Structure 1
């Protein structure tokens, strides 16, 4: 077990290094706080599918790991670059710990994060952007399982509706978490992170 934890930490360290290198190269994330938040959210999103199997609901091809989207939703506040990096971290975490169909569904988080981050950047509130991205998330995850040979019932009802419900639960958790952090720090976290 210790060996696998060591390997995981190495993979996470290389991933964070790669994120920092790309972000510096692009010149998009010069702010050290934003970079640190992105790295921490990425580490969190990689850990969730690997170590929180107890929070997972499985109805193949659908799996729902409660809180798996929370770091991605919070990263949307940091901007498109951070949201995409964290979403790729989600795909990496599921690729390490889950079947290919689940990892392919996790890769759809990149598009969801991008749409949500741009919506927030355009002035749409955090909660409204979470509502806006829910149907996009459900449709993308339903479409990506089609090549794996599942029935239309599995694709539309199990994956589509399941993803919509899972997205909604994680959106509520994210909203409550952001409000709690704002209350505890006496700062408007949404405005503070979005301004970066």
Structure 2
């Protein structure tokens, strides 16, 4: 649901590529005990995990994004957040780049993270973002932008190596995300994304 309030733009804040902090590397866990061999016995082979396919479909662009008012701002912010898991899982940056602006540090870091995973032969799984609530603030004349505050739930996420081994995990959580969106001739652009876990 959308509510319009007199929100002010929060500028100059940058978050990391993960929507919420707390990513845990698999190597941080306690190492498994070293297997011991017995003379005359042969060790049992370990099963090779199989990497899974992407778990998220490409989000559909909402028709409300054609509007340049508060409704369009809310739709643009929600759509951009929904692209996060898709971009991380597929490396398809077409829609992401179309909405990212040079001022958006989160946009650039997310793209860099997806590219780094692909270069290493790793895959990102999960991390889908569901927007539970949206509040659009008053249009800011100075930045030509709408501040859109959302309450989101992000599912568990993990990175998996090319052989299917889990490299890092990020537990799902709920939090507040502020997205600043601006109207441009080519459509909505994202100025910043700031998140805070609850």
- What TM-score do you get using the length of structure 1 for normalisation? 0.27
Higher RCO structure, 1 or 2 (CA under 8 Å, sep 6+): 2
TM-score, length-normalised on structure 2? 0.27
Q: Identify, as 1 or 2, the structure richer in strand.
A: 2
Which structure would you say has the larger Rg?
2
**Which structure shows the higher helix fraction?**
1
